Amino acid sequence: MFVGSCFGIILLAVLLELWRRLGKEYDRFLIKTNKGQSYQPHFWQQLVRAGIFTLQVANAYFLMLLAMYFNGYYIFCILIGTFIAFFVFQCEYLSQAGHGCMPAPEEKGCPCPPGECQCPPGDCRCPKCGCSGAPPRSSQHTTETSSTRQLTPRATAQPVAST
């Protein structure tokens, strides 16, 4: 019975990292389907994201309650489970810019200064200047003229015709 509990605790710790990875992969999927541009997820997409997050939080609370038994074996099983889970689910290529599987923006030809590009995973389109490997339109990130307007860093920079 005790050995089964220990394996169950290891499984709970692995499931926690699985929920985290599923959330990250689902966000990457949404960004990829929207061609790398920032956008507000639709109702059903946000519902799925909230469901994954709820499972993640519930799983973390169960692990916390198990740790509060102050049973050394249980705590050790949680540590074993998190080690296994991180090893399995967080195996990604790393880059200097910290984009996980993606190469650094400088490696993809992004003209933004190193460390300032905010390229989303899956597409090197900088929200500051709208670049995607091409030279930037201007040296300033938020400029406005009579014919075009670049949006704030949170939104994508797209030319907008003035009326």
Tell me the pLDDT tens digit for each residue of 56-76: 999 999 999 999 999 999 999
Q: Which of 57, 89, 121 is the last residue of a domain?
A: 89
Taking the C-alpha atoms of residue 86 and residue 93, their distance in angstroms, rounded to an integer, is 14
Q: Is residue 96 included in any domain, yes or no?
A: no
- Which comes out higher in pLDDT, residue 60 or 37? 60
Count: domains in the chain: 2
Looking at residue 104, what DSSP letter applies? Answer: P
Task: Please say if the pLDDT value at position 109 is more than 80.
Answer: no
Same domain assignment for residues 53 and 121: no
- Residue 161: closest CA among 153, 152, 149: 149
Q: What is the pLDDT of residue 38?
A: 81
pTM above 0.85, yes or no: no
Taking all residues of the chain, what is their mean pLDDT, rounded to a whole number?
Answer: 75
Task: Please say if the pLDDT value at position 42 is more than 70.
Answer: yes
Q: Is residue 97 included in any domain, yes or no?
A: no
Domain boundaries, position 124: 102-163
Q: Which residues of 16-45 are buried (b: 16+ CB within 10 A; e: fewer)?
A: bbbbbbebbeebbebbeeeebeeeeeeeeb
Q: Is residue 125 included in any domain, yes or no?
A: yes
